[in-house]
Amino acid sequence: MAVRKEYVEDLEKLKEEVLRMGELAKESAKNAIKALVRRDTELASKILKENAVIDELEFDIENRCMKLLALQQPMAVDLRTIGTCMKIITDFDRISDLAGDVAEIVIRIADEPLAKPLIDIPRMSEISQGMISDCLKAFSSGDIKILENFSERDDVIDALFDQIRRELMMIMIEKPRGIANASHLLFVALHLERIGDHACNIASRIIYMVTGEKRKLE
């Protein structure tokens, strides 16, 4: 009985650590765009430093998963939960890496004028942050209804990215001297589009964890 209690506690601790990693990744993505809007290089530098914490957390969670698999031989839902944890921490790590890429761009263009007003890029960020938040809620509660519209939300992000890309390409054609500046914003938009893709990956894994159904969201 004591062994079973320890196993349940270890599984709950694992889920708590995954949620913590997800929150940190979401905060990094949020702060990266905040730093861009405010041209805040100090905040951008902080994001880069905190990425090391997320990397370390990913390593610790992976070790917890391996230990539970080796010692407890979980079945059914518990097995899917551990497998999901091992998968989604990779997506959370990539989200934090992409936030770091945006932070590096903020530092690089700190003193340069922006190629275009920041309207659609913050909107992309807002949608992707909402998706990550809903993933964390679904992971914690098991309520996957909030994940049902992820494909539509990702489509909105993709449409915004296409619009930004077209606008920036026109700017590059009309003002060749501004190519470097415009390309920086294009990369920011690309990173946000990829964050949306990672959120969809996480949502797919959570649906599998809860239902055992494999469903690709994109």
Q: Is residue 218 a part of any domain in this protein?
A: no
Is it the case that residue 4 has pLDDT exceeding 80? no
Q: What is the pLDDT of residues 69-96, one digit of tens each?
A: 887 777 788 899 999 999 999 999 999 9
Q: The domain spanning residue 126 has which CATH number?
A: 1.20.58.220
Q: Rounded distance, CA 143 to CA 138, Å?
A: 5
Helices (H), 41-143: 41-72, 76-108, 120-141
Q: Is residue 17 a part of any domain in this protein?
A: yes
Which structural domain range is residue 159 located in?
A: 2-211
H-run or E-run covering 180: helix 179-211
Q: Is residue 186 a part of any domain in this protein?
A: yes
Q: What is the pLDDT of residues 136-148, one digit of tens each?
A: 999 999 999 999 8
Q: Rounded distance, CA 26 to CA 22, Å?
A: 6
User: Among candidates 138, 145, 136, 143, which has minimal Cα distance to 17?
Assistant: 136
Q: State which of 15-24, 167-176, 180-189 shows the largest mean pLDDT.
A: 15-24
Q: Is residue 197 a part of any domain in this protein?
A: yes
Q: Rounded distance, CA 86 to CA 183, Å?
A: 34
pTM of the model: 0.94
Q: Is residue 48 a part of any domain in this protein?
A: yes
Q: Is residue 217 a part of any domain in this protein?
A: no
Count of the separate structural domains present in the chain? 1
Q: Is residue 16 a part of any domain in this protein?
A: yes
Q: Is residue 104 a part of any domain in this protein?
A: yes
Contact partners, residue 89, CB within 8 Å, separation at least 6: 18, 21, 57, 58, 61, 62
